[in-house]
Chains A and B, each alone.
Chain A
Amino acid sequence: MGATNWGFKKSLWVFHLNAGACNNCDIEVLDCLCPKYDIERFGMKLVGSVKHADVLLVSGSVPRKVVPQLIEAYEQAPKPVAVVALGACGCTGGIFKDGYNFAGPIDKHIPVDAYVPGCPPRPEAIIDGIVKLMGKL
Chain B
Amino acid sequence: MSKQVLDGLKAKFGDRVDIFERSERRAYVTVSNDDWIPVTRHMYEEAKGRLATATGSDRSTGVELLYHFAFDRDGTVVNIRTTLPKPFPKIESLTTYYPAADFIEREIFDFLGVEFTGHHDPRKILSSHDRPADFHAMRRDE
Contact = CB atoms under 8 A, between A and B. Distances in A.
Are A and B close enough to touch in the complex, i.e. CB under 8 Å? Answer: yes
Interface of A: 63-65, 100-101
B137 A64 contact: no
Nearest to B131: A64
A64 B130 CA distance: 9
A101 B73 CA distance: 39
A100 B137 contact: yes
Interface residues of B, number: 6
Contacts of A64: 128, 130-131
B32 interface: no
Interface string B114-133: 00000000000001111100
User: Dominant SS at the B interface?
Assistant: loop
Contacts of B127: 65, 101
Contacts of A65: 127-129
Interface of B: 127-131, 137
B140 to A, nearest CB: 13
A17 B128 CA distance: 19
Nearest to A103: B128
A89 B22 CA distance: 39
A65 B135 CA distance: 14
A129 B30 CA distance: 56
Nearest to A67: B128
A64 B135 CA distance: 14
A100 B130 CA distance: 14
Contacts of A101: 127-128, 137
5 interchain residue pairs of minimum CB distance: A65-B128, A64-B128, A100-B137, A65-B129, A101-B128
Contacts of A63: 128
A64 B131 CA distance: 10
Nearest to A65: B128
Given A65-B127, A101-B128, A101-B137, 8 more contacts: A63-B128, A64-B128, A64-B130, A64-B131, A65-B128, A65-B129, A100-B137, A101-B127
11 contacts: A63-B128, A64-B128, A64-B130, A64-B131, A65-B127, A65-B128, A65-B129, A100-B137, A101-B127, A101-B128, A101-B137
B28 to A, nearest CB: 29
A54 B38 CA distance: 59
